[in-house]
Structure 1
């Protein structure tokens, strides 16, 4: 009996040592990953207010970032005022027509150099066409913004530039509120633990067990869904010719760009655009809306795909706001050019930025939005 007890005691100690070693190793991995994240965040060109979840660019920050796998490094340079643009004075010179471009990652220039963005290319076009007048197109866009945040930026900073025109670059997920939708899964202490996530994601069974445990412990909301759960359906590309698959894809994206097919989202969009118009009118400047498509709308032509643009057109028309729908142009380019128009689901390539700037230039001229500066 003594020998058995001694054997059990020895093996129990070995077991504890093994468990301790594993836990210590996991702790080292977690600490190492935390240090890595800290180093990465110190190189970021934007910050997120942890209280409000609002995003801001960091003035004076210069970073190189590879947006596309195997793609070139892109220089992100934030000026002293906190925008991805050249150094600009708030004071507007005489005979200068100023356009403030407001939007999300598309207008910000995700994946392209500053001079390749449609904002800067539009500025170049306007200067060449009107050498007798000075045109400035100022970019005050930030990645992953919605209309709610864009309206705040316009009020807090945009009007300081004394714009003659505010050009809103609208994208289909712009109804998304600050911090995400109520039923959108949010990062918790568990999701921030690198080692725990790696362990539970080993198999579908461990993922399912972990989810049930987190819900039971109150860490995760039962009906919470991932914002990007549409990616798997998107990569199959069955939606290109299959209408049912397309509808399934849109439904799976209802916490992102698919929200544009939900009628209730247009109540919020209408409200924000109404308020944006009131803000610009009080500042004695014009407002125009440019709507960027999602790539699935460009690659397919099912009639229901145009509904978001139709909704936005009706809203702008009811308020006499000039509106440019880029979907027809993108569909035309998709059949006439060999180069890709998108890096991914939504971000335009340099070619698409160039063509977009040309279309916007004609639109501004047709709508007579480039008259005498105020």
Structure 2
């Protein structure tokens, strides 16, 4: 009997040690091989772990940690003292400056793009070739949705007193506000994040979990909580801006996997209808990408976030839209007179 007990204990110990060794080797493999800056799941997890914290503002979910920095997807990311991936901005704007604040998610943040290839940076450069000095503030944060962005602006970022607010909208902005997990493994182990990502792919491919197209469509079912919250946030943001004479526009960013024929035109039209009924200008950026190959606009071969090429096209389209909407603010600079010709 004692021999059987010892044998069972030895078997349990051997199995446990083998599992620990296997898990350790997997963790080592992921840390050595999958942290080259190209694995989206790993890089987004690192970004959230290093640069984000739970916000103390109700309904905002998470926000950046001021002053933090790192390298993600192979590009440097620096968070300023206000909690944005941007240079420092004073509360008081300079006389004669037009201040634009961009609200948005990882596309606005510039995920995977170099600082000079972020849409807000390129937009500021374009607008500063015109009459007035323009300051564009980028408050984008990865994994944010419209409800989070509107609440963040109303309860915290409005102290910067922008003249114009651009709400940058992406199709997944109708998701529910994410909550940080307390799962020890997903909080601390690279291998757990890697396995979770592979498991999700397997479930979608072989076990009937909805693919990305169906997932996006399901977000806009009539009674989906996230979509209802999005619509309420829009109404609140519009009311807040109107009461303070802040000009508000909504800019829709296309999903870059398939551009022609675009599979989500009906959803774009639905969002546009909700915006326009509130009396707010709406810009769809899809036409700015006409005849462009989708992969040529991605930050990496497997990550469809917009790269510098896409950001340049977006910035140009937004600039032209702003000039059309507010010509007195963004008119062309007056031509310089030639003294010799006058004489």
Conserved in 1, the CA contact under 8 Å of 2:69 and 2:76?
yes
Q: Could you tell me which of 213, 236, 239 is aligned with 1:250?
A: 213
Aligned to 2:61: 54
Aligned to 2:313: 355
How far off is 1:286 after superposition?
A: 0.6
Deviation sequence 1:142-195 (CA, Å, 0-9, x none): 000011110111112221111000001101111112127xxxxx7756867969
Q: Give the paired residue count.
A: 303
Aligned to 1:213: none
Conserved in 1, the CA contact under 8 Å of 2:257 and 2:295?
no
| Pair 1:307–1:43, CA change in 2 (3 A) | closer
Conserved in 1, the CA contact under 8 Å of 2:60 and 2:147?
no
| Pair 1:171–1:346, CA change in 2 (3 A) | farther
Conserved in 1, the CA contact under 8 Å of 2:100 and 2:136?
yes
Aligned to 2:141: 142
| Pair 1:290–1:229, CA change in 2 (3 A) | farther
Deviation sequence 1:200-257 (CA, Å, 0-9, x none): 99xxxxx9xxxxxxxxxxxxxxxxxx7x789649xxxxxxxxxxxxx97532x1xxx3
Rounded Cα–Cα distance in structure 2 between residues aligned with 1:162 and 1:74: 30
Q: Could you tell me which of 292, 298, 312 is aligned with 1:342?
A: 298
Rounded Cα–Cα distance in structure 1 between residues aligned with 2:169 and 2:203: 21
Rounded Cα–Cα distance in structure 2 between residues aligned with 1:55 and 1:136: 25
How far off is 1:267 after superposition?
A: 3.9
Deviation sequence 1:8-50 (CA, Å, 0-9, x none): x3353133123124335645777996xx89x968971222359
2:45 is the counterpart of 1:82: no
How far off is 1:366 after superposition?
A: 0.9
Aligned to 2:115: 114
Match runs of 1:67-216 below 5 Å: 73-130=74-131, 133-179=132-178
2:287 is the counterpart of 1:328: yes
| Pair 1:93–1:29, CA change in 2 (3 A) | farther
Rounded Cα–Cα distance in structure 2 between residues aligned with 1:295 and 1:287: 25
Conserved in 2, the CA contact under 8 Å of 1:147 and 1:174?
yes
Aligned to 1:273: 234
2:19 is the counterpart of 1:13: no
How far off is 1:348 after superposition?
A: 0.7
- Report the TM-score when normalising by structure 2: 0.75
Rounded Cα–Cα distance in structure 2 between residues aligned with 1:339 and 1:301: 15
Deviation sequence 1:302-337 (CA, Å, 0-9, x none): 6xx31111112212221221110112222x1426xx
Rounded Cα–Cα distance in structure 2 between residues aligned with 1:52 and 1:315: 22
**Per the alignment, in what secondary structure is the counterpart of residue 265 of structure 2?**
helix
RMSD value over aligned CA atoms?
3.8
Uncovered stretches (5+) of structure 2, i.e. residues with no partner:
32-41, 331-343
**Per the alignment, in what secondary structure is the counterpart of residue 108 of structure 2?**
helix
| Pair 1:369–1:317, CA change in 2 (3 A) | farther
Rounded Cα–Cα distance in structure 1 between residues aligned with 2:48 and 2:217: 33
Structure possessing the higher radius of gyration over alpha carbons: 1
**Per the alignment, in what secondary structure is the counterpart of residue 147 of structure 2?**
helix
Uncovered stretches (5+) of structure 1, i.e. residues with no partner:
67-72, 181-185, 202-206, 208-225, 234-246
Rounded Cα–Cα distance in structure 2 between residues aligned with 1:125 and 1:329: 16
Q: Could you tell me which of 248, 261, 271 is aligned with 1:300?
A: 261
| Pair 1:355–1:193, CA change in 2 (3 A) | closer
- Report the TM-score when normalising by structure 1: 0.69
Structure 1 window deviating more from structure 2 (261-270 vs 137-146): it is 261-270
How far off is 1:196 after superposition?
A: 11
**Per the alignment, in what secondary structure is the counterpart of residue 47 of structure 1?**
strand
| Pair 1:262–1:296, CA change in 2 (3 A) | farther
